[in-house]
Amino acid sequence: MNVSQLAENLIGSEIIKIGNQVNEMKAQGADIANLTIGDLNSDLYPIPDYLKARIALAYQNNFTNYPPASGLKSLREAISKDLANRYALAYSEDDILVAGGSRPLIYAAFKTVVDPEDTVVYPVPSWNNNHYSYLSQAKKVEIQTSEQNFFLPTAQELKPHLKGATLLALCSPLNPTGTMFSKAQLEAICDLVVEENESRSPDQKPLYLLYDQIYALLTFEKTHFNPVSLNAKMQPYTIFIDGSSKSFAATGLRVGWGFGPTEVISKMKALLGHVGAWAPKPEQQAVGEFLNEREKVDQYISHYKGRLNESLKALHQGIQDLKEKGFHTDSIEPMGALYLTVKFDYLGKKMPNGMPLETTSDLVYYLIEHAGVAFVPFSAFGTDTKMPWFRASVGGLSLEQIQGLFPRLEAALSKLT
């Protein structure tokens, strides 16, 4: 073995694998409706004009040297103010850490609180918790969720697994499903976390809740809830992940932020200080200025998420129309984020070449080739390869492209016997 054991056994992303095949086929001239990557077509969904102008101005003003390792003070102050105004959350700028998107922050949170052989609990499907658990050498406990609960874990499902655990990782709105915790669901989970922590002795490590709310501003006719606003006793135990990438259609700007208990955030700062996972200084300066313009922020988000919701509703309606025609399809009404949860119950069916569809990945590649439509199976998010549910991300397509994919999808599904 020529590399470390950790590197040798690291598993690559199935999402990227599917996306690479789609991109190769598109480069060869194929017309494919790519619903795989959780990104946005920047021509369809540009960042806010004000933010774009402030980034350009920051470059003109030579904001091009190193930013502070924890993030620009002006940005952290703006985040602190926005959290107070938007969610009534009280976090000072010293308890906020800025990084190059949410990924370094999640990795830092895992590495800060999780020791080798510690237990990490998370639901499946969910994004990347299996990989971060592996990188932390943790014992992972995966909670299988159900469509009846919109693929979100319940307090009852979590309760048997929290005794002695170090980290519970949750996300709402959830990647990959776009579904959200209700107030009652999240309150019940918070009660469990508080109860578990109050049962521990002072020399025991707490049970922390990693709460990813990167899609919090992209909700449709639903209210986003967070643990600390629902239960003040959660503040010492909750590590938040947030940022600009999805809320401002700014995935390439790489400005994310985390906030939480002082002792945890300070160690995350030290860890990322060695990694150098900083967001670019001009983008930090501009995001801070934009956050201070609350009216501009809200106007942008209202228009942007309205368009996302329109696309998600069109995709949902198209899947429901197929269901009405007798196809083995279904979908969950969109609640938030960029994603629709779609069901294609076709495993065991035969393709035109006579070969059976044995896994959801088989169906994905069949639909890419025969329908020109690409989805991500829930198996990429930790579920069994037989679970017939898929993520569809609408950020890369126009409304017209979404509406136009259904004749091809219907024709391809009709050929399965």
Domain range list for the chain: 5-45+299-414, 49-293
The pLDDT of residue 19 is above 90: no
Residue 91: name the closest of 230, 287, 235 by CA: 235
pLDDT value for 105 = 98
What does the angle CA 130 – CA 363 – CA 393 come to, to the nearest 5 degrees? 60
CB-based contacts of 413: which residues, under 8 Å, 6+ apart? 322, 327, 329, 344, 346, 371
Average pLDDT, the chain: 96
DSSP per-residue string spanning 16-54? HHHHHHHHHHHHTT---EE--SS---TTTSPPPHHHHHH
Q: How many other β-carbons are positioned within 10 Å of the β-carbon of residue 185?
A: 18
pLDDT value for 199 = 97
Is-cis flag, bond preceding 173, omega within 30?
A: yes
pLDDT value for 14 = 80
- 27 pLDDT tier (thresholds 50, 70, 90): confident
Amino acid in position 118: D
CA–CA gap between residue 21 and residue 334 (Å, rounded): 27
**pTM summary value:** 0.96
pLDDT value for 284 = 98
In 225-293, alpha helices (H):
227-230, 262-275, 281-291
pLDDT value for 311 = 98
Q: What share of the chain is helix, strand, coil (3-state, %, to 5)?
A: 45, 15, 40
Q: How many other β-carbons are positioned within 10 Å of the β-carbon of residue 331?
A: 22
CA atoms within 13 Å, Cβ hemisphere of 33: 23
Greatest CA separation for the chain: 64
pLDDT value for 37 = 85
- 178 pLDDT tier (thresholds 50, 70, 90): very high
CA–CA gap between residue 145 and residue 376 (Å, rounded): 18
Average pLDDT over residues 300-324: 98
pLDDT value for 17 = 83
Average pLDDT over residues 365-391: 96
pLDDT value for 296 = 98
Q: What is the pLDDT of residues 336-357, one digit of tens each?
A: 999 999 999 999 999 999 999 9
Q: What is the pLDDT of residues 93-103, one digit of tens each?
A: 999 999 999 99
In the CATH scheme, what is the code of domain 5-45+299-414? 3.90.1150.10
Amino acid in position 338: L
CA–CA gap between residue 417 and residue 148 (Å, rounded): 28
Q: What is the pLDDT of residues 155-172, one digit of tens each?
A: 999 999 999 999 999 999
The pLDDT of residue 111 is above 80: yes
Average pLDDT over residues 387-398: 97
pLDDT value for 411 = 98
Which tokens in the block code for residue 96? 């906020």
Percent of the chain with pLDDT over 90: 94
Q: What is the pLDDT of residues 30-84, one digit of tens each?
A: 889 999 989 999 999 999 999 999 999 999 999 999 999 999 999 999 999 999 9
The pLDDT of residue 20 is above 90: no
Percent of the chain with pLDDT over 70: 100
**Which pairs count as long-range contacts for 52-57, CB under 8 Å and 24+ apart, including other chains?**
54/285, 54/286, 54/289, 54/290, 55/253, 55/282, 55/283, 55/285, 55/286, 57/286
Q: What is the pLDDT of residues 184-218, one digit of tens each?
A: 999 999 999 999 999 999 999 999 999 999 999 99
pLDDT value for 187 = 98
The pLDDT of residue 1 is above 80: no
**Under CATH, which architecture does the 49-293 domain have?**
3-Layer(aba) Sandwich (3.40)
Phi-psi region of 205 (alpha: psi -120 to 50; beta: other; left: phi over 0): beta
Q: What is the pLDDT of residues 224-276, one digit of tens each?
A: 999 999 999 999 999 999 999 999 999 999 999 999 999 999 999 999 999 99
